[in-house]
Structure 1
């Protein structure tokens, strides 16, 4: 297994303070504290009302540019807060990439909330994604990893399942192969979040408050996003999610077949690439149990 990739720049408090002083001096005297790092970004709390987000790898720099360009438009489609940048940071001699300041969204990641209680907002998330999944403009970003036909990801998914060595790999491959046989997406490409797992949702007082981290935003097959039905919920919550999404976007059995395949794909990614992250491992194990053991919320039978 492979740990999260190393940062390609050293992002310290001093670097962030210098960037603020040079480019946004009216915010530079506010308290600043590190919040942690993901695969792509380092995050800092700035005062009571802001979040500073800086790419830690070159590959993530383009994702920041996508958010700068497209999140103001995305915000008009959806009915929950999204992290629209309120200030844009520019590359400098001492920090090579664009960066962002967004408004602070109060709450905790959904991964910190009990899985069984998330059904309370399953329909809310379905409504958010149905609003997002609108035809994307011709110049929308295109990801080679999200929203693509499952066959494009076949070789790497099999390799990562083999590398992870999970005891239920054989069963997961059966589900994966079923999904590969589903009709491919042939409609107009729609906006796809690209990564709506429980670490990228904010919950406040037991309700869904925001969806964050649009770095993987792309145009493509919405099934890529709907894998969250298995990643995030129990089968009861998933049933509510499926019903609400289908009410808004229309019934489509092939869509849910592909989404179940994406749930396997994301599990393979997490198991093979994120062994240093207990949270991703827990999401993967939950997803696998939901895919293999829970009733199929679409038709009321076991998967």
Structure 2
């Protein structure tokens, strides 16, 4: 079988996955190995038969997520309103592949989009419910935000230099002065409460839909405990109009949290030159000021 996803990232392909399974998990050696249709950058994911997946980090920066998710997904799952990944087993390096890797249960569903979501306002409220449920989970002993979460949940100061550089590059294409004001407001706001759980990457690609409704949230690789402002970014990247208003009302976070959320959204949009999202953030800042 040829592997249409073979692209050199960490030398991962279906043949490697099959060999790792045969060596480490012979009970699943007869299952077909096929690349998933929608894959991420941090990990390569392959289906094992119909019920399992193999998930392999593409670089050492993403390895910390394997143990973190294996430990904490079972703790979080019973306390959340929709399905999340189930940790089944951990694999070890082998055949030249240098990292630990994971076997998970396959979760059915379509990736969230304007075509797959039935009612965006209802969907926005479902995402808010998930965020609030996650924040309410006991964070004792949880992984404090830092390198493993790519500093999601930590201070935006970590990305200050990168943001200032991007502002300089995009000057003339955006209102750089206003964007700088948004960034300064985000940095001036500090999370001064006990750390709570955050997902770290609540984006359409990590949200699964069945029958038009939210059915699962996947990829907890950037999760941890800290400041949950990063989980509000979807307000600017996916919702708009009444759905953004529904999300804002349902998630019920204060203005300081939203200041930091705009900072997270602005940073990512600037470094990826996503000018529509930059403008959305700026418009929201002006609207909320008045």
**Residues 1:270 and 1:264: Cα distance change in structure 2 (over 3 Å):** same
SS in structure 1 of the partner of residue 99 of structure 2: coil
User: For the Cα contact (< 8 Å) 2:174–2:275, is it kept in 1?
Assistant: no
Instruction: Name the residue aligned to 2:282.
Output: 292
| Partner of residue 139, structure 2 | 136
Whole-Å separation in 1 of the counterparts to 2:85 and 2:172: 35
- 5+ residue gaps, structure 2, are 1-6
Q: Distance in 2 between matches of 1:295 and 1:223?
A: 15
TM-score, scaled to structure 1: 0.82
Moved over 4 A (4+): 114-117, 163-166, 300-303
Q: How far apart, in 1, do the equivalents of 2:28 and 2:259 lie?
A: 48
- Counterpart of 1:121? 123
Matches within 5 A, 1:203-214: 203-214=209-220
Gaps in structure 1 of 5+ consecutive residues: 1-5, 272-283
**Contact 2:232–2:258 under 8 Å retained in 1:** yes
SS of the aligned residue for 2:231 comes to helix
Query: What corresponds to 2:40 in structure 1?
Result: 38
Matched, 1:234 2:235: no
SS in 2 for 1:16: helix
Residue of 240, 244, 248 corresponding to 2:250: 244
The correspondence for 2:185, drawn from 150, 173, 178, is 178
Task: Give the match's secondary structure for 2:107.
Answer: coil
Q: Is the 8 A contact 1:17 1:28 kept in 2?
A: yes
Q: Distance in 2 between matches of 1:174 and 1:243?
A: 25
The question of whether the paired residues in 1 share the 8 Å contact of 2:117 and 2:123 is answered with no
- Verify the 8 A CA contact 1:235 1:290 in the aligned structure 2: no
Do the aligned partners of 2:91 and 2:101 also contact (CA within 8 Å) in 1?
yes
State the alpha-carbon separation in 2 of the partners of residues 113 and 266 from structure 1: 24
After TM superposition, the score normalised by the length of structure 2 is: 0.85
Q: CA RMSD in A?
A: 2.6
